[in-house]
Amino acid sequence: MAKEVLINVGAGEIRVAVVENGVLDQLWLERGMGFEADRWRRAAAAGGGRSIMGDIVLGRVQRVIPAMQAAFVNIGLDRAGFLAAREARPRTAIFRDDPYTDEDRQLHISDFVREGEEILVQVVKDPIGEKGARLSANVTLAGRLLILAPNSPGIALSRRIEDEGERARLTEIVQEFAGDHSGEILAEAGYILRTAALGASRAELREDAARLSAVWREIATRRAGAESPRTLHTDAGPVERALRDEVDASVDRILIDDRDAAEEARAYAARAMPVLAGRIELYESREPLFEAHGIEDEIEQLVEPRVALPSGGWITVEATEALTAIDVNSGSYVQGGGLEETSLMVNLEAAGMIGRQLRLRGIGGLIIIDFIHLESQDNIARVLQALESAAGKGRVPVQILGMSEFGLVEMTRKRIRDPLVARLTESCRRCDGHGRRKTVETVAVEMMRQIERAHAAAPDKAIILRAAPVMMRWLDVHGEDFRAALAKRGIMCIDIERGSDTRREHFSVETV
């Protein structure tokens, strides 16, 4: 199976795509817009900028609310972070996603935090909509092979490491260096062995643990002289995180279209994954990376509700405040075996597509799927198995219930951050009945992308951007950041003019 990781570094955003057998399978994007770090964090708080998940912050408890068994913590964003009693309690198990127990429900938040006190917390979920970031007082540090849990002794393994012999071998190695109190490895800490640890040597695992121990000591040093709220540790950027979390022996090639980002990736690979360093390549063609691999148009379609199936049927994805509803329609497809066989084939196609669309669109929370009605229990089981296989791919936990007599399936997928459609678009009453339109930030990024293409095609010519009035107003406020981001890409000569079209999505870029 051919698998590639494509990293597009633009003036306004970084996009990471995982492509399997020529098909887009996973997608992440993070926007920077050339902002300084603290302004970028404010953009993240609004759902449009850098993910702050994984950041470790020295915060201050603002309010303790016993009725909710939770506290609100000032972490330096516009909205306070939310700390539930379960995440405030010192962990006895180092997996964060264990199901709630009766013991968890009996916890009292006041036993763990008090108003006004400082507390070290980690962001475990980005701010979403009007909700602040979700926090945990049980911080972890992710490495290539291991996750360090400084305050939660013990050893756990990824559920995807299934071979019992390998599990025993890895556990023995970690037990050995976890008990070493020579100073290089953090004493009394816990470790989670990631899937990438499969087949790793003793030296590789120890080196990863030593590197994480050093990072934790740096955090402790910063905390000693810090005043809250203060970010003490920022998780890896999108390029390094893509290599850390998504690249393993199954990846044939990592293509990066920016020289500096490629060097950053090679430096990380040399430290953490030297065996795979040779698979990192700089993409230098004039044709944009995502267009060359045929995925730019597909990304554009990820905000549309209707998704075609190979058979001629389709699924419709509609989000509400409470849940996401997905409808399966057979269209004109007819299977020779009759209605049951037709329904089965369409449902199986839909199950695979639904899992993929949930990943690409970043959909989380409660999801209701209206499959085409099936009579056979065996066929229902096949559809549920296909859905579980497709939806369970990746690192985001899912839970799937059985199919009701009406053909409805309820499932949940952990919500990490706003879905893609919420990050790229906003509610609109004048957009051809679709109810949403692109945000000004999304249009600004598209402008940057088009300017970069024009510069690559004619690097010696000046560029004229003609934009709608609403975009001109946005540029009046953010023009300095807009030009600075493009200047980092070597684009200096840009004239900005008012366009004749009032629609924000309609702009033009030409060279003279």
Pair 193, 67 in one domain:
yes
Average pLDDT over residues 448-467: 91
Count of residues making up the chain? 512
DSSP 8-class letter at 131: B
Pair 64, 120 in one domain:
yes
Pair 273, 244 in one domain:
no
Q: Which of 27, 7, 2, 22 is nearest to 419 (CA)?
A: 27
Percentage of the chain beyond pLDDT 70 is 90
Angle at CA of residue 498, ends 44 and 304, nearest 5°: 50
- Separation of CA 154 from chain center: 27
* pLDDT tier, 40 (very low <50, low <70, confident <90, very high otherwise): very low
Whole-number Å distance between alpha carbons of 45 and 128? 8
Pair 29, 121 in one domain:
no
Output the pLDDT for position 32: 65
Whole-number Å distance between alpha carbons of 355 and 133? 26
The dihedrals phi and psi of 43, each to the nearest 5 degrees, come to: -65, -40
Average pLDDT over residues 442-461: 90
* pLDDT tier, 51 (very low <50, low <70, confident <90, very high otherwise): confident
The DSSP line for 56-105 is: EEEEEEEEEETTTTEEEEE-SSSS-EEEEHHHHSPPSSS-TTPPP-HHHH
CATH of the domain at 250: 2.40.50.140
Identify the burial level of 325 via C-beta atoms within 10 angstroms of its C-beta, where 0-12 means exposed, 13-18 middle and 19 or more buried.
middle
Among residues 256, 289, 323, the one where a domain terminates is: 256
Do residues 444 and 478 make contact, with C-beta atoms less than 8 angstroms apart? yes
Residue for token pair 């002289």: 225
Whole-number Å distance between alpha carbons of 288 and 201? 39
Pair 294, 278 in one domain:
yes
State pLDDT tens for residues 122-176.
999 888 777 889 999 999 999 989 999 998 888 899 888 889 999 999 999 998 8
Whole-number Å distance between alpha carbons of 148 and 115? 29
Do residues 441 and 423 make contact, with C-beta atoms less than 8 angstroms apart? no
Pair 242, 180 in one domain:
yes
Output the pLDDT for position 149: 92
State pLDDT tens for residues 213-260.
999 999 999 999 889 899 999 988 888 888 888 888 888 999 999 999
End-to-end CA distance of the chain: 45
State the total domains in the chain. Answer: 4
Among residues 275, 300, 325, the one where a domain terminates is: 300
Residue 456 covered by a domain: yes
Residue for token pair 């007082």: 137
Output the pLDDT for position 419: 86
CATH of the domain at 471: 3.40.1260.20
State pLDDT tens for residues 369-425.
999 999 999 999 999 999 999 998 877 889 999 999 888 999 999 887 778 888 888
Q: Which of 59, 31, 26 is nearest to 478 (CA)?
A: 31
Residue 375 covered by a domain: yes
Output the pLDDT for position 431: 57
pLDDT above 50: residue 34? no
Pair 55, 196 in one domain:
yes
Q: Which of 93-97, 111-115, 421-425, 491-495 has the highest mean pLDDT?
A: 111-115
Pair 320, 237 in one domain:
no
The answer to which of 20-29, 98-107, 318-327, 340-349 has the lowest mean pLDDT is 98-107
Output the pLDDT for position 57: 96
The pair of three-digit structure tokens given for residue 253, joined into one six-digit string: 């090639």
Instruction: Please list, residue by residue across 156-175, b when 16 or more beta carbons sit within 10 angstroms of its beta carbon and e when fewer do.
Output: bbbeebeeeebeeebbebbe
* pLDDT tier, 106 (very low <50, low <70, confident <90, very high otherwise): confident
Pair 252, 337 in one domain:
no
Q: Which of 324, 413, 333 is nearest to 316 (CA)?
A: 324
Whole-number Å distance between alpha carbons of 398 and 391? 7
* pLDDT tier, 52 (very low <50, low <70, confident <90, very high otherwise): confident
Domain of residue 499 covers 434-511
* pLDDT tier, 41 (very low <50, low <70, confident <90, very high otherwise): very low
Q: What is the CA radius of gyration of the chain?
A: 24
Output the pLDDT for position 103: 66
Specify the amino acid at residue 344.
L
The pair of three-digit structure tokens given for residue 13, joined into one six-digit string: 């955003």
pTM check: above 0.85:
no
Residue for token pair 């509609």: 318
* Region of 54 on the Ramachandran plot (φ > 0 left; ψ -120 to 50 alpha; else beta): left
Residue 428 covered by a domain: no
Q: Which of 42, 12, 36 is nearest to 482 (CA)?
A: 12
Among residues 413, 443, 460, the one where a domain terminates is: 413
Pair 175, 63 in one domain:
yes
Average pLDDT over residues 479-492: 88
Output the pLDDT for position 29: 86
Q: Which of 335, 372, 331, 332 is nearest to 351 (CA)?
A: 372
Output the pLDDT for position 92: 53
Do residues 38 and 57 make contact, with C-beta atoms less than 8 angstroms apart? no
Average pLDDT over residues 61-70: 93
Residue 246 covered by a domain: yes
Residue 170 covered by a domain: yes
Residue 442 covered by a domain: yes
Pair 189, 61 in one domain:
yes
Mean pLDDT estimate for the chain: 86
- HSE at residue 94, side-chain half, CA atoms within 13 A, is 23
The answer to which of 22-26, 33-37, 279-283, 354-358 has the lowest mean pLDDT is 33-37
Residue 421 covered by a domain: no
Pair 204, 317 in one domain:
no
Residue 429 covered by a domain: no
Residue for token pair 């075609």: 308
Whole-number Å distance between alpha carbons of 485 and 491? 9
Sequence-distant (6+) residues with CB within 8 A of 492 are 486
pLDDT above 50: residue 43? no
Output the pLDDT for position 161: 87
- Separation of CA 366 from chain center: 18
State pLDDT tens for residues 245-299.
888 888 899 999 999 999 999 999 988 888 888 999 999 988 899 999 989 888 8
